[in-house]
Amino acid sequence: MKPLSSFLKKSLQAAALCGVLAATSASAADWSDTYLGWRYGTKFREPFTNTGPTNNDPNDITKNIVNLNHASGYKYGMNLFNVDFLLSQRNEAANCQNFQCQGDATDAYLFYRHILDIGKVLDKDLRVGPIQGWGVAAGFDLQSKTDAGYNSKKRMAVLGPTAMFAVPGYLNVSLLEVWESNQPCTTFPPFAVGYPSNCISRYRYDMHPMLWAAWAIPFGSSGFSFEGYLNWIAQKGKNEFGADTAAETNFDGQIMFDLGRVGFGPKGTFKVGLEYQYWKNKFGNDSTVPGPNGPGPGAFAKTPMIRAEYHF
């Protein structure tokens, strides 16, 4: 495993990038919201981390996740970005033999989307029924993970049309084209993954579509809000090991409460809530293909979490 200091260095670099983007965006924003968050769950799962006599019983993984998030709107659109620092406490990384991995893992995942509002650019009202506007979404995802099994280095760019719905807060739904690649450096035994060396050249998946929805909807003046995202990602051809990928569904939603409504600090500053993530065929790994050579049920997670945020 790489030293933790290397992971922290990359994490701080990602956080610094987010800070620069946030400051630049906020300086010209009509509105903005930036927060530091923490969430915790004990039912996370990862592909290939299976146990039991048939190597098909998925390990539950405990994770602490710290994130920096920023959303802002300006004259011609909005920006959304987030960086997650994921720390796995057990059953994922430090020892990996015959596709059974146990130990700690560290992961930094950066997400950015910009939505350009076509109606505002053209100075025209493009409302159609519940849709208040149309736009174009573009962005990217970057990942750097350190574990003992795969060490993902995902890179992904997206572009496509967006419908913006008339709701309190915001609800955006986009149909995106995806360009994705990875360059893992695995410690799985070479005979198991089909190539002689531990590291491979950057592998590019087939271009594929993605349905992306993101929302933050307050419940009136109650202090409660419903926030989250949904990704449905189509099959992306063969993976770098020659196996078929599968369509991926990732729903992550949370009910949050503003503690300022009950006198705990200023309104909009401290929020707590419950979160639930449903992630089937994680990163395109087919959860129906059994171990030891397939990802197995570890590629299908149903994860409740607790969550807290400090907005500034």
Indicate which CATH number applies to the domain containing 276.
2.40.230.20
Which has more confidence, 1 or 248? Answer: 248
Max CA pair span of the chain: 64
Nearest Cα to Cα of residue 92 among 124, 53, 62, 125: 62
- pLDDT tens, position by position, 151-205: 889 999 999 999 999 999 999 999 999 999 999 886 655 544 444 456 778 999 9
Asked whether the beta carbons of 138 and 161 are under 8 A apart, the reply is no
Total tally of structural domains belonging to the chain: 1
pLDDT value at position 309?
98
How many angstroms from the chain centroid is the CA of residue 226? 18
Distance of alpha carbon 85 from alpha carbon 17, whole angstroms: 14
Give the domain extent around 164.
4-311
Which has more confidence, 51 or 289? Answer: 289
- pLDDT tens, position by position, 23-55: 555 556 899 999 999 999 999 998 887 766 666
- Global confidence as pTM: 0.86
Is residue 230 pLDDT above 90, yes or no? yes
Distance of alpha carbon 62 from alpha carbon 45, whole angstroms: 9
